[in-house]
Chains A and B, each alone.
Chain A
Amino acid sequence: MTSQNSSDTQLLYGQPMRIYANGSKVVFVTTQNYHELVSSLFNDGYNFASDLCAVDYLTNIQRSLPAELTPERFEVVLNLLSHGRKERIRVRALVNESNPSIPTVMDIYPGVENMEREAFDMYGIVFEGHPDLSRILMPEGWEGHPLRKDYAVGRVPVQFKETPQPR
C-alpha cells in the first residue's frame, strides 16, 4: 500500500481532496459538482488546462477513493496548472457507466476542445455543451470506443505475397 491509498482527505470547495507523498493534489468529484468545482479552481488562479483524459476502471473498479464517493467505471481526469503559483492540481470526476455524460469545461478552458473530443472518441463519454463533439482520431462512422477495456486489441491477419505456399 502506497501513500496514495491513504484515507485522510481534506475538503477543497466542499469536495474531498488528497495530497500524495510526491506533493500532487487530487480532488475527487461527481459529475454534478464537476463544472462548479472547475470554475472555482479557475477563479482560484488555475489559469491553464494542461491535460484532459479519460480512464476506464472496468478491471479495477474497487480502487482507492474517498469514502463519500461510490466507485464508477469511468473517470475524466483534468490536470490544471497555475502559472502564477507554479502549481498543479488534478480533478478526477467519476462518470457513470450507463449514462456516460459530463458537462464540458470548454466555456472555462477553450483549450480542452481537442482533448474532450479525444475522450469522446476513445471512451464514448459525452461532454454536454461541447460545440463539435465528433470523432477526432478514429474515422467518422467507426463503431465502438477503442480505449475501453472491453474493446479487444484487434489483429488483422497479414498475408505476404512472397511467402511460399504450404504444400
Chain B
Amino acid sequence: MTTEDKTMKSEIGNSAVLRLPESSAVDLDLNELEFGSGETMIVNMGPQHPSTHGVLRVMMELEGETVLRCKPVIGYLHTGMEKTGEELTYTQGATNVTRMDYLSPLANELVYSLAVEDLLNVQIPQRATWIRMLMCELNRMSSHLMWLATNGMDLGATTMMIFGFRERELILAFFEKTTGLRMNHNYIRPGGVAADLPDGWEEDVEAIYQTVLFRLDEYDEFFTGQPIFRKRVEGVGTLSAETAVELSVTGPLLRASGVPWDLRKTMPYLAYDEVDFDVIVGTVGDNFDRYAVRMNEIRESAKIVKQIIEKMPKGDYRTQDAKVTPPPRARIDQSMEALIHHFKLFTEGIIVPEGETYVAVESPRGELGCYMVSDGTGHPLRMHIRAPSFVNLQSLPPLLRGSLVADAVATISSVDPVMGEVDR
C-alpha cells in the first residue's frame, strides 16, 4: 500500500468521526473539553427522537447550523441475541434471529437457515428454494415501502407515511395468510420452509405486485418530479464510491454511490441466477440517488416475483432428510420410533457436524451475513450475524459532514438503519 492511500484513509477515519467518550456530551461543563476553536458545540440528537427510527443517538459537533463531526452512539436496544443464539438449539434459532431486523425478518431466517444447511450439507427441494425467493422478494418490497413511508415522514410528507403503510399492509396480509404472522414469521427454517403456500397464492401475489407497481407510478408523480422534494434531497449527503467501499458499506447505499454490487447478481444464491432482473445503480450517491435506487428496486422485485409465479416448481416444501425434518404427525401416532425421533429432534435439536461457515445474502439493507461455528452438538458454538445496518451506520459521519442540521434527519433516514439489527 502506498503512503497516499494511508493518508486518504486516515482522513475518512479521523476527520469526520467525533472521537469522544459517550458520556462527554452530557457533561454540563463543556468548557473543560477542547474542541478546536471553541466556537463549536456538541449536541445530542436522540436517543429519543422520532426520526432516529428507534433508539439511535447521534453526537453532533456543530458550528452554527453546520455539522462538523459526529458519532453515532448505539447499544440502547442491545438484547444479546448472539449470546441467546448460543443457548438455543438449531431448531429454535430461527425464532431468535427473525427478531433482529424486524422489517425484513425473512432475510434473517434465510441467512441463518442457509448457514445451518451449509454445515449440515443438506440439499433442499427446488420448491422450497423458490418459495424462499418469493417470500424474500415480497419482504424486500415491504421493507422498501416502509422506508419510503418513513423517509417521506422525515421530510415532512405525511401523506407518504400513510401511502407506504397502506401498500405494505397488502404484503403483510399475504404473509399472515402464508406464515400465520405478520412479522417475525419463523417461516424459513433449516431444511426448507414451515408450510406450503396457500391455495390461490398466485392470484394474491399478482394482485400485490400489480397494485404496488401502479401505486409506484403515483409516487413518481407525487415525489420524483416534485421541485420541493428534489431541492430537499439532491446533492445532500453524498457518499463517493471509494469511501463507501472502504467503509464496508453495502446494499442500496453502495449501489447509490455507483458500485454495481448486489449479491443476488454477483454471487447468486438460491435460484437468483435463473431469474432476470437488473441491478439498480446511482451516480453521485446523494439522498436522491438512494431514494431512486430503493424505488426502482421495488420494481425489480416485482419483476422477480412475476417470474417466480411462472416458474414455481412442484414438489416438496421441505427436505425429507430425517436428520433435519421431524416425521409427519400421522406416523407419530403409529410408530414408537417416530415419536422418539420427534422428541429427540425437538429436545436436543439438529446435530450439526463440527465446522464453521460464513454465508451472506442480500437483505433490503445490504449484505446480511451469518458466521456460524459448530462443535458437533445441538447448539452453535458461535452464531454471529453481520448486520448491514450496523456497518452502514459507519457512513453517517462522512455523510453528515458539512451538511445542515435540518438535512441530518433526511440523511439518517436515507441510511435506513433498523435499530433492532444494529444492536442485536
Q: Which residues of A pack against B, CB within 8 Å?
A: 1-2, 4-5, 20-22, 24, 26, 39, 42-43, 47-51, 53, 55-57, 59-60, 63-64, 77, 79, 83, 86, 88, 90, 106-115, 118, 122, 131-132, 134-140, 146-147, 153
Contact of A51 among B14, B22, B358 (CB under 8 A): B358
The reply to whether A47 and B22 contact each other, CB–CB distance below 8 Å, is: no
Residues 362-405 of chain B, each 1 if its beta carbon lies under 8 Å from chain A, else 0: 00000101010101000001101010001101100000000000
Determine whether the beta carbon of A114 is less than 8 Å from that of B391.
Answer: yes
Chain B interface residue count, Cβ-Cβ cutoff 8 angstroms? 53
Q: Is the CB of A79 within 8 A of B261?
A: no
Chain B neighbourhood of A114, CB < 8 A? 390-391, 393-394
Question: B246 is contacted by which of A53, A77, A109 (Cβ under 8 Å)?
Answer: A109
B386 touches A51 (CB 8 A): yes
A111 to B248, alpha carbons, bound, how many Å?
5
B-chain residues with CB within 8 Å of residue A106 when the two chains form the complex: 13
Instruction: Decide: A86 and B267 in contact? CB cutoff 8 A.
Output: yes
B14 touches A131 (CB 8 A): yes
Q: A86-B266, A139-B75, A140-B21 are in contact. Are A4 and B371 (CB under 8 A)?
A: no
B83 touches A146 (CB 8 A): yes
A107 near B261 with CB under 8 A, answer: no
CB–CB B373/A55 < 8 A: yes
- List residues of chain B with CB within 8 A of the CB of A60: 375, 381
B12 near A: Cβ within 8 Å?
yes
A102, B266: Cα distance in complex, Å: 33
Given A42-B1, A132-B17: A24 in contact with B357 (beta carbons within 8 A): yes
Contact B354 A63 (CB under 8 A): yes
For B226, what are the chain A residues with a Cβ–Cβ distance below 8 Å?
none
The 4 closest A-B pairs by CB, nearest first: A111-B248, A51-B386, A4-B355, A137-B75
Contact residues in A for B22 (Cβ distance below 8 Å): 134, 140
Is B19 in contact with A132, judged by CB distance below 8 angstroms? Answer: yes
Task: Find out whether the CB atom of B371 lies under 8 angstroms from the CB atom of A5.
Answer: no
Question: Given that A4-B356, A107-B6, A140-B22 are known contacts, is A49 also in contact with B17, CB under 8 Å in the complex?
Answer: no
Kindly list 12 other residue pairs between chains A and B, CB separation below 8 angstroms, not including A42-B1, A63-B375: A24-B357, A51-B384, A56-B382, A64-B354, A79-B386, A86-B266, A114-B394, A118-B390, A136-B74, A138-B75, A147-B82, A153-B87
Q: How far is the CA of A139 from the CA of B78 in the complex (A)?
A: 10
Tell me, in angstroms, the Cα distance from A43 to B375 when the chains sit together.
34
A-B contact pairs, 22 of them (CB 8 A): A2-B121, A4-B356, A26-B356, A50-B358, A50-B386, A51-B358, A53-B371, A53-B382, A60-B381, A79-B371, A83-B266, A106-B13, A107-B9, A110-B9, A110-B13, A111-B246, A112-B248, A118-B390, A132-B17, A134-B21, A135-B75, A147-B83
Residues of chain A within 8 A (CB-CB) of B367 are 50
> What is the CA–CA distance of A109 and B384 in the complex, to the nearest angstrom?
20
A84-B394 Cα distance, complex, nearest whole Å: 23
CA distance A53 to B121 in the complex (A): 24
Decide: B391 and A111 in contact? CB cutoff 8 A: yes
Determine whether B10 belongs to the interface, using a CB cutoff of 8 Å to chain A: yes
- Contact indicator A108/B1 (Cβ below 8 Å): yes
- Which residues from B are CB-within-8-Å of A146? 80, 83
**B266–chain A nearest beta-carbon distance, Å:** 5
Query: CB-CB < 8 A to B424: which residues of A?
Result: 137
B395-424 contacts to A (CB < 8 Å): 423-424
A51-B369, A79-B369 known; A111-B360 Cβ under 8 A: no
Complex CA distance for A55 and B78, rounded to whole angstroms: 19
Decide yes or no whether B245 CB sits under 8 A from chain A: yes
Q: Which residues of B contact A42 (CB under 8 A)?
A: 1
